Amino acid sequence: MCIGVWTLEHPLYALILCTNRDEFLDRPTQNAHFHNFGEKTEDHPADILSGLDMRAGGTWLGIGRNGKVALLTNITEEAVNLSTSRGSLVSSFLLSDPALPLEEETARMIAQDGKYSGFNLMLFAPRLESDGSLTYETVLVTNHGAGGVLNSRPLSADERCCGGISNGIDGAGASNWPKIKRVTQDFDAVLQSFPPSPSEDELVDRLMEVLAWRCDESVLDRSHLRNTVHVTPIQYKPAKNGVPTLNGTRLSTVILIRRDGQVRFVERDIWQLLPDGKPVLAPPSSTRVFQFKLGINQGRLSV
């Protein structure tokens, strides 16, 4: 189970986005780096920052130098054999023309009528205000479960101030999951406790603490995962060759995008597997930090 929490209404930041990636610990993955999903050309250099799922080829979270951001979570459901990768939804959005309005881009995505396993997809599209400050238009795209029809909706005013998403079904109680209530409450408390111009290092550390909260009760199966933000490794698939297949929080990521286009992207390893298959917490030093400025030229965002 993954989780994301954000605000789009901070006075200094156009977007603060915090996420956990919960996944099988042995699933092949590349750490966050700049790339172009294998489509690098002279006109389009490696300008997408994300990790990569080496099995499906897509990603769960990414940002382009043009300011586009996408976050994907899977809906908790029984496994369904659908061949289309949900991660391709993220890559297609991040690689698309930045001049294309979000409404039009979303309509094109929905019109393709692809059949996917259940997913929730947050699309953040940058826009410059008349004073040159950065803001974001945002939509949620979802199919409400495997093979469902894609549809989208904008965020409410409350969701823009402090919103969260995990692996539930939109409009069917997902916002009432204990982990969503806890993470949005703690996230908002951190932001309220900081001055308008906080120390970014301290802010990142505090937001990482928000992503590290775990419930007191033991997590014994998938139905319990909605209760905890940080997932301690559990096994809910048969062991492979006697080695447990463990699922837990692999990564925590904090993205800070200032209204002047400055970006800080911090990715931290959480649970890792030793060569003998034993899960261990990664050291705090296992962190990757990227800082760059979005491509903003003459009032438009550009690649």
Residue found under tokens 């929490």: 5
- Decide if 139 is inside a domain: yes
Collapsing DSSP to helix, strand or coil, 48 comes out as: strand
pLDDT digits (tens, 9 = 90+) for 282-292: 998 899 999 99
CA angle, 207 as apex, 291 and 124 as ends, to 5°? 60
Strand pairing of 119-128 and 69-74? antiparallel
Residues 34-73, buried b or exposed e (16+ Cβ, 10 A)? ebbbeeeeeeeeebbbbbbbeeeebbbbbbbbbbbbbbbb
pLDDT band at residue 42 under the 50/70/90 scheme: low
For the residues 234-254, what does the mean pLDDT come to?
Answer: 80
Q: Give whichever of 53-57, 78-82, 168-172, 263-267 has the largest mean pLDDT.
A: 263-267
Question: pLDDT value at position 13?
Answer: 97
Rg value, the chain, Cα? 18
Residue 300 within a domain: no
Domain assignment of residue 163, yes or no: yes
Assigned domain for 302 exists: no
- Dist CA 201 CA 208 (whole Å): 11
* Number of domains composing the chain: 1
Whether pLDDT at 54 is above 50 = yes
Please tell me the predicted confidence (pLDDT) of residue 57. Answer: 79
Which residues constitute the domain of residue 212? 3-293
* Domain assignment of residue 303, yes or no: no
pLDDT, average across residues 95-101: 91
pLDDT above 70: residue 18: yes
pLDDT confidence tier of residue 303, bands split at 50, 70 and 90:
very low
Residue 217: pLDDT band with limits 50, 70, 90: confident
Q: Is residue 170 part of a domain?
A: yes
Q: Which comes out higher in pLDDT, residue 241 or 252?
A: 252
According to the model, what pLDDT value does residue 61 have? 98
Is residue 105 pLDDT above 80, yes or no?
A: yes
Range scoring the smallest mean pLDDT among 39-48, 169-178, 214-223, 251-260? 39-48
In a domain, 220, yes or no: yes
pLDDT of residue 196: 78
Smallest CA-to-CA distance from 220 within 240, 242, 236 is with 236
Mean pLDDT for the chain?
91
Any idea what the CATH number is for the domain that residue 62 is in?
3.60.60
Domain presence at residue 298: no
- Is residue 298 scored above 50 in pLDDT? no
Cα–Cα distances in angstroms (integers) from residue 49 to residues 112, 139, 227, 281, 301, in the given order: 26, 21, 30, 24, 17
- What is the pLDDT, as a whole number, of residue 43? 62
Sequence-distant (≥ 6) Cβ neighbours of residue 40 within 8 angstroms: 46
Q: How confident is the model at residue 299 (pLDDT cuts 50, 70, 90)?
A: very low
End-to-end CA, the chain? 32
Is 63 within 8 Å of 48 (Cβ atoms)? yes
What integer pLDDT is reported at residue 300 of this predicted model?
44
pLDDT of residue 55: 85
Greater model confidence, 302 or 263: 263
φ, ψ for residue 34 (rounded to 5)? -85, 135
User: What confidence tier does 135 reach under pLDDT thresholds 50, 70, 90?
Assistant: very high
